[in-house]
Structure 1
């Protein structure tokens, strides 16, 4: 407590020291800012430096209300013009299409669309230009004019911003008040004193001064004087005891007290009266807002005021259908969810989009097909899906006898093994006859091939080989197996045609051979008969069995 009191005394001492050097200037405070007008012949940069030294900047005029406050200060001081915080830096060009024409405020605030040019500024990109405020008069209305920044003007306007303001310090008895602001400007009267202002009070008949500081409340955003008023011995006979409404003298000789009328409460300065807050005890479940003659209850988002006007009940937002799939109401809010196979989408998560399960690794053993809200596993060619599972099993194609000869099953396929004299097809699923050259074809047209073909023809249904003259028995037939049956390929009919044509040729050759042999036998018989008739012994040749003829012939030789 002692340390706090010491700090307060030190602060008061510093402020008292500042009073001695306080500058006499015009001051106007409103809202959370104070504006000052200073009489001094300075250029723009020097004026800006003076404002910055006191914690402010050359005043802007970003709105009509702010311009009117500056105009009031100019009118009270009778100044012809004053610098304000509008400047065009060198290297920046004048922009005729913009409200500020390319100029910017020294306070670096957000630029506004308000402008009050009395004449278009000098068009330049190479020189620095600054703006002065000229009050309304015979020459025209209030407005801006640009000038070289090195030029001097008789006044400049500053702006100082604060967290809050205190009202005028109330006096209970006769006395004088002097205010010293934090920006080193002294004034005997202030409609509002900024935070940190020191008020010095000299009561009538007193040789000492009383000091009070504008400070903030420990709770809330209000600012009030410490110590609070009324200051000076107060009696209700002088200035109503400094009270705004009611002044009460409880006992003669003792200071009077201030009071307020019904529906009002005494302010923090113990002199002013504020409208009674009907929401002081907060009768609402939500937020209470004062209204003329009463109050109003306000509920948070997601709730509405109940019919009794005090409670808050939850709003079921799902009744409006804000979600694409499913909506779940919660206390004061709601959330959306998506059906299986979908993901939330959209900036607020109220929409749903299909999830591509196939993009996940190892979703299926082989092939994956994404469908709306789900997916399906498929198998490659040569495989079949195992019942009740996504696994793929190899199909044994050899069980269907796809080959003319041996078949070998492979994973997802099969391979035909071809017999000698045949070549596998490109896909390995069949056999083709091996091609032959012309010499090989000529060699196969010899007697052996003819006899083999004839033997094959006899086995098909021709007369027995014993009936052929000379008793030549053909060798065993050579059976050629087709690489494809008609049901296994398109070469079956063609090969069958080759076999039929080959058989016909073989039969014709056999017939020609038999006829030639028979003609030779008849010719030999006639020659033998002719020789027998001219012989000296008149022998007659008698036909014998083939074996006897052979023996007789050997004897004759």
Structure 2
């Protein structure tokens, strides 16, 4: 009793310093306030924290509607809410909150109401303001520099429970002083710790009551309970919910119908067991003056206060690609070519189809959401399929000599006496000495010189008259021989024809020689051999003409005849 009196005295002392006038709305276990003051985001957050709260979040559609209702009742063009992007954090366009976080909890949520995409940055802080409905459309969020000055801000204060409105039994008025220093002449629900000041009509003093918890259970009620300003049951039914009883010489009091009991406020009536049978589709929770229906996660209470309606979570855009609403929940799916990712399965990442075996016959190129097959160099893709066909490069005549096609490539070759150039396509005449050329064609090389180089057909230094050393031979068709560089194919033809002619001449000469010898052998007849067959007689010479001794027979073989 002493503690209760001490608490009452403290609240009475606090009531001397009136709180500021602000728009206030209390529901469930929280109160939301709209303050008119031109402040930056940080200063507004400090004001809310000083009174025990934070800048208001809008983590659900129901909470967002409460903030929009407060802002619509004022003339403010915008108000700060508790959404902020810290310096060093980047805007994430794929997330519902875009990388921002609520000041109250710091945890991201799925609900968002952006009127425009926030400014993309990683280097500056950005804060969010709520704009009311207007020419731009429905109410929603816009991001601003946190130092910008806005005309209002919204706060949220959480409590363990609430008391209903204080009942009056006669003419009078009630003023509520909340724990967060906001005064209001009317509250649909008053948070725990609220002080109610009652001024009865014609009374010389005020009466006070405090919202406090009951000794049993988790309910809250006014102490003292009321009703205040008792007069007669003719005024407002004496403040009673059901029955008002008047006794001569005694103040009026309240009673309830059969099956109901008087509530802690001594004015409302509660069913003896308000939740039996359960009138709710969800869970029934007894409350002062009746009961409250509570729905499971994924459902919201219907307007009748009894039934539960499924929440379409997909309206809040929780999924990156596709969202599918279900009874009481939802699930996300990804477009073809993507796989679900993230701890909650709301994100999607590209699937690498090229990692699968035999995705393509040759080369596989992964692209976002799909893939494409390509071919190696030297192959071309067959129209209408992924098969790769070999390209016959020889059809494009890439070689000076012969071209040989291979799977995926080709090879150039040159005729005898020519070498393949470094580019693998052209042919250059191989350097050949005069002696080698003479041995090939069976003729003597002819020395042909120019003012700058020795060309094809140059003999060796030993064959040059006078023993002069000729200059180094120049390869026919090289870049230093403009006479032959442009006539490579013609010179090649001349070389081949000359070689054939020389070979044919040699063959003809050899055949003629063989034929002559056979003919001479047939004409000779075999003779009897004698000792004189190998000698020839020399006629006598006159002595006067020669005094030399008579020559002796010598065996001299000339063309097979001994003389």
Normalising by structure 1, we get a TM-score of 0.49
Normalising by structure 2, we get a TM-score of 0.48
Structure number with the higher helix fraction is 1
